[in-house]
C-alpha cells in the first residue's frame, strides 16, 4: 500500500507524543530521517499494518498532549501505523471527544443530558459560558488558560448531577470533575484542575439503605481500591482459585447452570436481536470454536443517560473486574482481554490501569496466573465518547482502529458471523459488560443461585441517588422508595434514553433494566422528550439512513411540538409514529431501533401531547 | 470465447418466500433470491462488485422470528427461513426510508428513485420546509471527477472501491458522525491534494450520481445530458495490453462517459485514468 501524505509536518511535541506511544521510528517509511539503509529496504504488507489497533490510543495520546489532532500529527501517526490519512481522519471524526480543528488546551465538558437537564444544566451552561466567554476563547490560542466549553451527552455522573468534566491537555494531561457543579466549581475545575476539590469516593454512589448485604457491591467502600492485599483479605481471588479447581468446562457449566444473562446497556443488551441471551451459552459457543487466538472484550463503555454502575464498580472494586475477566478468559481459552472503558471516566481508567499493573506484578495476570499455567493479560482501551460503542460489533471495530460504527452484517444467531465465531481481529470473541462479569464471582464462590441480584442506577428526583443492588424481580416502586423518591414524582424513565417512561401510578412493575431516572415537575415533559431525541440525533453514527435522518426528523418534529396546541400537532404526531416505526424496524443496530422507544412511551403512556 | 468459472458446486437450500417454497444455492443473499423469483426489491447501495454495506435500508424484508426487519443485501438465505418481501411492515419502512432520503438529499440523478417514490406513495415534502437538507454545492476541484455532497447517500461504496475492496488507494473516506457524516479527503482537502489516481472507479459504484465525471456534470448543467438518446458500445481499451473491457456511452457522436462491465473477465469493472477519461484521441481527426 502506497500512502500519500500532504506536505504537513508534526510539531516536536506531537512527534514526541506519538514516539512515546509507539517507540522511535525504525525507518524513513515510518517517518524517520532517510538513511543509506532505507535505499535497500522496504516495508509494507501485513506486518506494517498489524498495529492499526494503536490508532485510537495514538489519537488519545495526541488529544491528551495537545488538545486537538492537527493534520501534521495525524499524518505522522499514519506513517507510523501504515494507515491512510483519509481513513484515520474518518476514524478521528467518528468520536465526539476528538477535535480536528484547533481548540484551547482545556475543554470543559458540561453534561446537558436528561438527568443534568433536570438538575439545571441549561442555566449552568449559560453561566459557565458567560463567565468563560464560551467558544470565543478560540481567538488567541496561545494563552494556556483559555477554555472551550462543550455541551456533552451524558458523562455518567448522574448521581451527582449536574456534572462537568474539565480536561486540560498537557504533559501529563490533567482532569477534574465538578459534580454537583455550580458555575464556580466548574470554572475552578477548568481553570485550575490541580487545585479543584477531590471527587467523593466511589462508595458515595452506593447508598447504604440497610437492605440485605449487597453481593456485587459488597466490597465497594470496604476494600482499598488500590491494594491487592486488601482485596485478598476481603475474599478476593477465591473465585479464581475455584475456577482453576473446576477447569474451563466446569466454569462454563456453573455459569450455564446459573442462568446468568447479560446486563449491558438498555439499547445493547449482551444478547443479539434485543433479547438477553444466556451468557453461558455464548461463552460455550466461543470456547468450542477451533480458531485461535480467542479474545475477551469487557465493554465498560456504558454511556446511555443515567448509567454509571460500571464506573462505580471499577472505581470501588477494580480488582474484582480483573479477577472476573481472568476467570472468563480462562473459561473461553482467551489469552488477551481488552477492557474498553469511557474516555469521560478518567478516575475509573486510572484505577483500572493501576489495578492491572499491580495484579501483573503480583502474578494475578501474565504468563502464569497464580502459578496455574494459564496465561492472560488485560489491555485497557479508552473510548472517545461514541455511545454506539455500547453495541458489541461497534466496540470491536473501535478497538481494531476503525470508525465507531456497527458491523453491517447482522450478528444475530444463527446467522454467522456472530462475534463468538468471528469477532475481534477475526478470532472468536466474547463481548461482555462489567456487571455480568462481576456477577460471575459469587456464582463461583457461592453457587449458581448467587446470581439473583442486579444493579440499578437510580438518579434524578430522589434523595439517595446511586447504584442500588436489588433482587431480580423487585418492583419499581420498592426501588424508588428505597432511593427516597421525592413527593411530586411526574414520570420515571426506565432503561435510559433507549427505554420507556412509566407513570407514577404504574410503579408495581418489576424493574426490568439497570437504569431508572425519576423526574419531578421542574422540567416540562416535552423538553425531556426533545432532549432524548437530541441525544439520539447526536449519537447516531450515520451509517444507515433510517437512524441518521430519522433521528433528525424526530427531533425537528418534537421541537415543533413544544407548542402542542398548534394546528399541525396531529400531523406531527402521526409523522413521529411513522418515522419511529421505520427507525425501529429498518435501522441497522440497537441505537436506531430504540431511538423512538422513550418518545413513544412519553406520547402514549404519559400523554405528553394529549 | 469467454470462459466463465462455475465455481464450487453449491448445495441448494429451501426456504419460504412470501409463502411459496423456493430453492436457492447456499450463500445466496435474500436480495438475490427475491430478485431471482421475480420480486421487485428497491435497493440503492448494493453493487455487485462490492460487499454489501447495508446502509440504504431500502431492501429490507421481514424474516419471521427476527425482531427487526433485515437488509436483504446483507443476509444470506437459510434453510427453513420464512421471508416476506412485500408485507405492509416492509412497505412502510421502504416508504419512510425513501421519504427520509429524498427529504435530505437530491435524488434527481438516482436511477429508479422517482419510480420507487411513486410506487410506494412516498411524500418527501411531508417534513415541511424547515427539514434539514444537505445543501452543499458540488465540489469542482479538478477536471475529471465532480463530487456533489448534496446528492450523497453516504453509502460508502466509493470509499470501498477506492480502498480495500478495489483500488487500495484510500483517497476517500467517510468522516464525521450522524447527520454530519460525509465522504471526502482528510481535513476536507481538495482531491488534487489527495492520494486519488483518478481511476474513476468510484463513479461507477455511486448509486445516486453524487460522483460524476466532469463531462457528465457539465452536460447536465447545460441541460444537454440526454441519457435515453445515448448508445452504449462495448469494446476493448486500446491504451495498453491488459485488455480492459470498455463501454462507450455516446451521445450525438461524442463519447460522454466510459464505464466497464462489472462482469468483465479481465478487470471486473476496474479501469485506470486512461481507460476512463483518456478517450479524446478517438475523435481527434488531425
B79 pLDDT tier (thresholds 50, 70, 90): very high
> What is the total count of domains within chain A?
4
Q: What is the pLDDT at residue A140?
A: 44
| Pair type for strands A500-502 and B12-17 | unpaired
- Is residue B231 domain-shared with residue B241, that is, in the same domain? yes
Q: What is the pLDDT at residue A409?
A: 67
Mean pLDDT, range A36-51, rounded to an integer: 75
pLDDT at B2 over 80: no
Could B185 and A86 be called an inter-chain contact, meaning their C-beta atoms sit closer than 8 Å?
Answer: yes
**Residue (of A551, A549, A573) closest to A561 by Cα position:** A573
Q: Which of A142, A176, A196 is the last residue of a domain?
A: A196
User: Would you say residue A535 lies in a domain?
Assistant: yes
Could A84 and B174 be called an inter-chain contact, meaning their C-beta atoms sit closer than 8 Å?
Answer: no
The verdict on A10 touching B (C-beta cutoff 8 Å) is no
| DSSP bridge partners of B255 | B250
Nearest Cβ partner of B177 from A541, A544, A557? Answer: A541
The verdict on B177 touching A (C-beta cutoff 8 Å) is yes
- Is residue A513 domain-shared with residue A526, that is, in the same domain? yes
A46 pLDDT tier (thresholds 50, 70, 90): confident
Could B186 and A556 be called an inter-chain contact, meaning their C-beta atoms sit closer than 8 Å?
Answer: no
Could A544 and B54 be called an inter-chain contact, meaning their C-beta atoms sit closer than 8 Å?
Answer: yes
**Residue (of B45, B50, B74, B46) closest to B61 by Cα position:** B74
Could A410 and B69 be called an inter-chain contact, meaning their C-beta atoms sit closer than 8 Å?
Answer: no
Which of A65-74, A168-177, A300-309, B7-16 shows the lowest per-residue confidence on average (mean pLDDT)? B7-16
- Is residue A25 domain-shared with residue A114, that is, in the same domain? no
How many H-runs (helices) and E-runs (strands) does chain B carry?
7, 12
Preceding amide of A417 cis, omega within 30: yes
- Is residue A306 domain-shared with residue A319, that is, in the same domain? yes
Chain A hits for B193, CB-CB cut-off 8 Å, are: 6
Q: What is the pLDDT at residue B67?
A: 87
Q: What is the pLDDT of residues A381-423, one digit of tens each?
A: 999 999 999 988 899 999 999 999 998 765 444 444 578 888 8
How far is CA A409 from each of CA A347, B76, B205, rounded to the nearest angstrom? 36, 10, 20
- Is residue A82 domain-shared with residue A147, that is, in the same domain? no
Mean pLDDT, range B178-191, rounded to an integer: 96
User: Would you say residue A558 lies in a domain?
Assistant: yes
CA dist., res. A51 & res. A347, Å (int): 27
Nearest Cβ partner of A556 from B70, B130, B177? Answer: B130
Mutate to test the interface with B, among A71, A84, A416 (most CBs of B within 10 A): A84
Could B57 and A546 be called an inter-chain contact, meaning their C-beta atoms sit closer than 8 Å?
Answer: yes
* C-alpha distance from A45 to closest chain B C-alpha (Å): 12
User: Would you say residue B2 lies in a domain?
Assistant: no
User: Which 3 state secondary structure label does DSSP give A520?
Assistant: strand
Mean pLDDT, range A232-236, rounded to an integer: 95
CA dist., res. A535 & res. A156, Å (int): 14
CA dist., res. A525 & res. A607, Å (int): 10
- Is residue A35 domain-shared with residue A136, that is, in the same domain? no
- Is residue A467 domain-shared with residue A563, that is, in the same domain? yes
User: Would you say residue A337 lies in a domain?
Assistant: yes
Q: What is the pLDDT of residues A251-267, one digit of tens each?
A: 999 999 998 888 765 54
| Pair type for strands A106-111 and A174-178 | unpaired
User: Would you say residue B253 lies in a domain?
Assistant: yes
Preceding amide of A172 cis, omega within 30: yes
- Is residue B188 domain-shared with residue B207, that is, in the same domain? yes
Q: How far is CA A192 from the centre of its chain?
A: 27
Which of A136-140, A434-438, A495-499 shows the lowest per-residue confidence on average (mean pLDDT)? A136-140
- Is residue A357 domain-shared with residue A445, that is, in the same domain? yes
Q: What is the pLDDT of residues A508-520, one digit of tens each?
A: 999 888 999 999 9
- Is residue B215 domain-shared with residue B239, that is, in the same domain? no
Q: What is the pLDDT of residues B131-178, one digit of tens each?
A: 999 889 999 999 999 999 999 999 999 999 999 899 999 999 999 999
CA dist., res. A129 & res. A150, Å (int): 10
- Is residue A235 domain-shared with residue A256, that is, in the same domain? yes
How far is CA B273 from each of CA A286, A295, A365, B139, B277, rounded to the nearest angstrom? 47, 43, 55, 19, 6
8 Å CB contact between B26 and B10: yes
pLDDT at A275 over 60: no
Q: What is the pLDDT at residue A213?
A: 81
Q: What is the pLDDT at residue A48?
A: 76
* C-alpha distance from A92 to closest chain B C-alpha (Å): 8
Q: What is the pLDDT at residue B121?
A: 97
Percent of chain B topping pLDDT 70: 98
The verdict on A89 touching B (C-beta cutoff 8 Å) is yes
Mean pLDDT, range A547-571, rounded to an integer: 88
Nearest Cβ partner of B178 from A410, A541, A593? Answer: A541
Q: What is the pLDDT at residue A567?
A: 72
- Is residue B100 domain-shared with residue B210, that is, in the same domain? no
E-state strands within A69-142? 106-111
Mean pLDDT, range A67-87, rounded to an integer: 96
User: Which 3 state secondary structure label does DSSP give B174?
Assistant: strand
Structure-model confidence comparison of residues A70 and A143, the more confident one: A70
Let me know if A209 is exposed, middle or buried by CB neighbors in 10 A (0-12, 13-18, 19+).
Answer: middle
Q: Which of B222, B242, B259 is the last residue of a domain?
A: B222
The verdict on A566 touching B (C-beta cutoff 8 Å) is no
Mean of all residue pLDDT scores within chain A: 90
Q: From B195, which residue of chain A is nearest by alpha-carbon distance?
A: A4
Grid cell at residue A432? 461482555
Mean pLDDT, range A571-578, rounded to an integer: 94
Q: What is the pLDDT at residue A413?
A: 41
Mean pLDDT, range A594-609, rounded to an integer: 94
Q: What is the pLDDT at residue A350?
A: 97
How far is CA A490 from each of CA A479, A607, B281, rounded to the nearest angstrom? 16, 12, 76
User: Would you say residue B3 lies in a domain?
Assistant: no
User: Would you say residue B181 lies in a domain?
Assistant: yes
CA dist., res. A54 & res. A179, Å (int): 32
Domain with B217, as residue range(s), is 135-222
Could B176 and A542 be called an inter-chain contact, meaning their C-beta atoms sit closer than 8 Å?
Answer: yes
Mean pLDDT, range A322-330, rounded to an integer: 97
- Is residue B126 domain-shared with residue B13, that is, in the same domain? yes
The verdict on A6 touching B (C-beta cutoff 8 Å) is yes
Percent of chain B topping pLDDT 90: 84
Nearest Cβ partner of A586 from B57, B66, B185? Answer: B57
Which of A45-54, A233-242, A369-378, B259-268 shows the lowest per-residue confidence on average (mean pLDDT)? A45-54
Q: What is the pLDDT at residue A411?
A: 45
pLDDT at B78 over 60: yes
- Is residue B18 domain-shared with residue B44, that is, in the same domain? yes
Could B177 and A409 be called an inter-chain contact, meaning their C-beta atoms sit closer than 8 Å?
Answer: no
Mean pLDDT, range B271-286, rounded to an integer: 90
Chain B hits for A93, CB-CB cut-off 8 Å, are: 175-177
A192 pLDDT tier (thresholds 50, 70, 90): very high
B16 pLDDT tier (thresholds 50, 70, 90): very high
Q: Which of B100, B133, B166 is the last residue of a domain?
A: B133
**Residue (of A507, A497, A498) closest to A528 by Cα position:** A497
- Is residue B29 domain-shared with residue B114, that is, in the same domain? yes
Q: What is the pLDDT at residue A579?
A: 98
Which CATH number does the domain housing residue B37 bear? 3.10.20.740
Could B89 and A96 be called an inter-chain contact, meaning their C-beta atoms sit closer than 8 Å?
Answer: no
A139 pLDDT tier (thresholds 50, 70, 90): very low
pLDDT at A316 over 70: yes
Q: What is the pLDDT of residues B83-107, one digit of tens each?
A: 999 999 999 999 999 999 999 999 9
Could A551 and B178 be called an inter-chain contact, meaning their C-beta atoms sit closer than 8 Å?
Answer: yes
Q: What is the pLDDT at residue B185?
A: 97
Q: What is the pLDDT at residue A41?
A: 65
> B5 — phi, psi (to 5°)?
-75, 130
User: Would you say residue A587 lies in a domain?
Assistant: yes
Grid cell at residue B132? 434539514
> What is the total count of domains within chain B?
3
The verdict on A412 touching B (C-beta cutoff 8 Å) is yes
CB atoms within 10 A of CB A161: 27
The verdict on A400 touching B (C-beta cutoff 8 Å) is no
B254 pLDDT tier (thresholds 50, 70, 90): very high
pLDDT at A271 over 70: no
CA dist., res. A302 & res. A390, Å (int): 6
Mutate to test the interface with B, among A411, A545, A594 (most CBs of B within 10 A): A545
- Is residue B24 domain-shared with residue B34, that is, in the same domain? yes
- Is residue A270 domain-shared with residue A122, that is, in the same domain? no
Mean pLDDT, range A497-507, rounded to an integer: 94
Which CATH number does the domain housing residue B253 bear? 2.20.25.90
Asked whether this complex has an ipTM greater than 0.85, the answer is yes
Q: 3-state SS of B265-277? A: CCCCCCCCHHHHH
> B80 — phi, psi (to 5°)?
80, -5
* C-alpha distance from B286 to closest chain A C-alpha (Å): 38
Percent of chain A topping pLDDT 90: 76
8 Å CB contact between A339 and A300: yes
The verdict on B136 touching A (C-beta cutoff 8 Å) is no
How far is CA A437 from each of CA A239, A263, A325, rounded to the nearest angstrom? 12, 9, 7
User: Would you say residue A215 lies in a domain?
Assistant: no
pLDDT at A136 over 90: no
CA dist., res. B190 & res. B60, Å (int): 36
Domain with A192, as residue range(s), is 106-196
User: Would you say residue B4 lies in a domain?
Assistant: no
- Is residue A345 domain-shared with residue A471, that is, in the same domain? no
Nearest Cβ partner of A89 from B101, B163, B173? Answer: B173
Mutate to test the interface with A, among B26, B96, B154 (most CBs of A within 10 A): B96
Q: What is the pLDDT at residue A562?
A: 81
Amino acid at each position: 500500500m502506497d500512502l500519500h501524505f500532504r506536505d504537513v509536518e508534526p510539531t516536536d511535541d506531537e512527534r514526541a507524543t506519538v514516539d512515546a506511544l509507539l517507540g522511535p521510528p525504525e525507518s524513513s517509511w515510518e517517518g524517520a530521517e532517510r538513511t543509506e539503509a532505507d535505499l535497500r529496504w522496504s516495508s509494507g504488507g501485513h506486518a506494517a499494518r498489524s498495529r492499526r489497533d494503536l490508532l485510537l490510543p495514538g489519537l488519545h495520546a495526541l488529544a491528551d498532549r495537545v488538545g486537538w489532532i492537527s493534520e501534521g500529527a495525524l499524518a505522522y501517526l499514519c506513517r507510523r501505523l501504515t494507515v491512510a490519512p483519509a481513513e484515520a481522519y474518518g476514524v478521528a471524526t467518528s468520536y465526539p471527544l476528538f477535535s480536528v480543528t484547533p481548540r484551547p488546551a482545556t475543554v470543559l465538558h458540561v453534561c446537558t443530558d436528561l438527568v443534568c437537564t433536570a438538575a439545571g444544566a441549561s442555566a449552568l451552561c449559560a453561566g459557565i459560558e458567560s463567565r468563560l466567554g464560551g467558544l470565543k476563547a478560540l481567538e488567541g490560542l496561545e494563552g494556556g488558560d483559555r477554555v472551550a466549553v462543550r455541551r456533552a451527552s451524558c458523562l455518567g455522573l448522574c448521581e451527582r448531577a449536574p456534572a462537568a468534566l474539565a480536561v486540560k491537555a498537557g504533559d501529563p494531561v490533567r482532569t477534574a470533575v465538578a459534580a454537583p457543579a455550580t458555575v464556580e466549581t466548574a470554572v475552578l475545575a477548568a481553570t485550575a484542575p490541580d487545585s479543584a476539590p477531590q471527587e467523593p469516593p466511589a462508595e458515595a454512589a452506593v447508598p447504604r439503605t440497610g437492605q440485605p448485604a449487597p453481593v456485587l457491591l459488597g466490597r465497594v467502600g470496604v476494600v482499598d481500591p488500590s491494594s491487592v492485599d486488601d482485596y485478598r483479605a476481603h475474599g478476593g481471588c477465591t473465585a479464581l482459585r475455584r475456577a482453576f479447581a473446576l477447569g474451563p468446562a466446569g466454569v462454563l457449566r456453573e455459569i450455564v447452570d446459573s442462568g446468568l444473562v447479560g446486563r449491558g446497556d438498555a439499547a445493547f443488551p449482551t444478547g443479539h436481536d434485543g433479547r438477553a441471551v444466556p451468557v453461558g451459552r455464548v461463552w460455550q459457543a466461543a470456547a468450542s470454536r477451533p480458531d485461535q487466538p480467542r479474545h475477551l472484550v469487557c465493554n465498560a463503555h456504558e454511556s446511555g443517560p443515567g448509567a454509571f454502575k460500571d464506573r462505580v464498580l471499577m472505581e470501588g472494586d477494580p480488582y474484582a473486574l480483573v479477577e472476573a475477566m481472568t476467570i472468563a478468559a480462562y473459561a473461553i481459552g482467551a489469552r488477551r482481554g481488552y477492557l474498553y472503558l469511557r474516555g469521560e471516566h478518567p478516575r475509573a481508567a486510572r484505577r483500572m490501569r493501576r489495578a492491572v499493573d499491580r495484579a501483573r506484578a503480583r502474578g494475578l495476570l501474565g504468563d502464569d496466573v497464580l502459578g496455574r499455567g494459564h496465561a492472560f493479560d488485560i489491555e485497557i482501551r479508552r473510548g472517545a465518547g461514541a455511545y454506539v460503542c455500547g453495541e458489541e460489533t461497534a466496540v470491536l471495530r473501535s478497538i481494531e482502529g476503525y470508525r465507531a460504527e456497527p458491523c453491517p452484517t447482522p450478528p444475530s444467531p444463527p446467522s454467522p458471523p456472530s462475534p463468538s465465531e468471528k469477532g475481534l481481529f477475526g478470532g472468536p470473541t466474547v463481548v461482555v459488560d462489567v456487571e455480568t462479569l462481576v456477577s460471575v464471582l459469587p456464582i463461583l464462590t457461592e453457587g449458581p443461585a448467587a446470581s439473583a441480584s442486579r444493579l440499578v442506577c437510580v438518579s434524578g428526583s430522589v434523595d439517595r441517588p446511586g447504584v442500588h443492588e436489588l433482587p431480580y424481580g423487585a418492583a419499581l416502586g420498592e426501588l424508588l422508595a428505597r432511593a427516597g423518591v421525592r413527593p411530586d414524582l411526574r414520570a420515571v424513565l426506565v432503561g435510559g434514553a433507549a427505554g420507556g417512561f412509566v407513570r407514577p401510578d404504574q410503579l408495581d412493575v418489576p424493574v426490568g433494566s439497570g437504569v431508572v431516572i425519576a423526574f419531578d415537575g421542574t422540567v416540562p415533559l416535552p423538553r425531556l422528550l426533545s432532549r432524548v431525541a437530541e441525544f439520539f440525533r447526536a449519537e447516531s453514527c450515520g451509517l444507515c439512513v433510517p437512524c441518521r435522518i430519522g433521528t433528525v426528523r424526530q427531533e425537528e418534529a418534537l421541537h415543533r411540538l413544544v407548542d402542542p396546541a398548534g394546528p399541525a400537532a396531529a400531523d406531527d404526531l402521526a409523522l413521529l409514529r411513522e418515522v419511529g416505526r421505520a427507525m425501529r424496524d429498518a435501522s441497522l443496530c440497537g441505537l436506531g431501533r430504540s431511538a423512538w422507544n422513550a418518545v413513544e412511551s412519553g406520547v402514549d403512556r404519559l400523554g405528553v401531547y394529549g | 470465447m469467454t470462459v466463465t468459472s462455475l465455481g464450487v458446486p453449491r448445495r441448494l437450500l429451501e426456504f419460504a418466500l412470501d409463502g411459496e417454497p423456493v430453492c436457492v444455492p447456499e450463500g445466496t443473499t435474500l436480495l438475490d433470491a427475491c430478485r431471482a423469483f421475480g420480486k421487485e426489491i428497491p435497493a440503492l447501495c448494493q453493487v455487485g462488485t462490492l460487499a454489501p454495506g447495508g446502509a440504504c435500508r431500502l431492501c429490507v424484508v421481514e424474516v419471521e422470528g427476527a425482531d427487526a426487519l433485515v437488509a436483504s443485501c446483507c443476509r444470506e438465505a437459510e434453510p427453513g427461513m420464512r421471508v416476506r418481501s412485500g408485507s405492509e411492515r416492509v412497505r412502510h419502512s421502504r416508504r419512510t426510508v425513501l421519504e427520509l432520503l429524498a427529504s435530505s438529499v437530491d435524488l434527481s440523478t438516482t436511477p429508479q428513485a422517482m419510480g420507487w417514490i411513486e410506487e410506494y406513495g412516498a411524500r418527501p415534502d411531508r417534513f415541511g420546509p424547515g427539514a434539514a437538507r444537505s445543501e452543499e454545492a458540488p465540489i469542482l476541484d479538478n477536471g475529471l471527477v465532480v463530487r456533489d455532497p448534496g446528492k450523497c447517500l453516504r453509502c460508502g461504496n466509493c470509499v470501498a472501491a477506492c480502498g480495500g475492496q478495489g483500488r487500495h488507494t484510500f483517497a476517500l473516506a467517510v468522516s464525521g458522525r450522524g447527520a454530519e457524516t460525509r465522504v471526502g479527503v482528510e481535513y476536507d482537502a481538495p482531491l488534487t491534494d489527495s492520494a486519488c489516481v483518478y481511476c474513476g472507479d468510484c463513479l461507477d459504484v455511486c448509486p445516486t450520481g453524487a460522483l460524476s465525471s466532469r463531462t457528465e456534470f457539465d452536460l447536465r448543467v447545460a441541460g444537454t445530458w440526454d441519457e435515453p438518446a445515448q448508445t452504449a458500445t462495448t469494446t476493448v481499451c486500446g491504451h495498453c495490453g491488459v485488455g480492459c473491457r470498455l463501454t462507450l456511452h455516446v451521445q450525438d457522436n461524442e463519447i460522454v462517459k466510459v464505464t466497464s462491465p462489472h462482469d468483465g473477465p479481465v478487470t471486473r469493472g476496474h479501469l485506470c485514468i486512461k481507460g476512463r477519461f483518456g478517450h479524446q484521441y478517438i475523435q481527434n481527426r488531425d
